[in-house]
Amino acid sequence: MEYYRFITNGVGIYEAISKGVEINDFRRLNKPDGSWLPRKGLDFPGAISFWTNKGLKKYLDSGMLKWHKSVIKGNVEIVVIDRPTEILYEDEYQIILDKFFLKVKDQINLDRFLDKMNIIVS
């Protein structure tokens, strides 16, 4: 099984958003609802998260990727990994792991990834 992480400028896309788009930024008014995702990353400082297949589908279907792309500066890439040996947290949408156990299988730009996965984001 593969897991997916969206990055921009070397950091996770959620981190890029939190650093680049202030809480009171008017662009947040059109942000899709992300309340479906359990906020567990804060329980594991320094760890990183990856989407499961179900989480990836939900992320894309929710419109979050489209919104993220509209407010960040920089290109979006996808880091692909196989199931790691050590997982700190797991639910149906995500896994969280220590960077020490990160073994990158592939890293590709967003458009190539979407083409490869036969995904259309409108």
Asked if 42 and 89 count as a contact pair (C-beta separation under 8 A), the reply is no
**Which pair of structure tokens corresponds to residue 101?**
């156990």
Q: pTM for the whole thing?
A: 0.91
Mean pLDDT of 30-37: 90
How far apart are the C-alpha atoms of 85 and 72, rounded to whole Å?
32
Q: In the structure, what pLDDT confidence band is assigned to residue 122 with cuts at 50, 70 and 90? A: low
Q: What is the mean pLDDT of residues 40-56?
A: 95
Average pLDDT, stretch 10-27? 90
60-84 average pLDDT score: 94
Q: What is the largest CA-CA distance in the chain?
A: 42
Domain parsing of the chain, residue ranges: 2-116
Taking a C-beta distance cutoff of 8 angstroms, is the pair 52, 59 a contact?
Answer: no
For residues 118 and 17, the model is more confident at: 17
DSSP string, 17-75: HHHHS-TT-GGGGGPPP-TTS---GGGSTT-EEEE-HHHHHHHHHHTHHHHHHHH--S-
| pLDDT reported for residue 110 | 93
**DSSP H or E stretch at residue 76:** strand 76-82
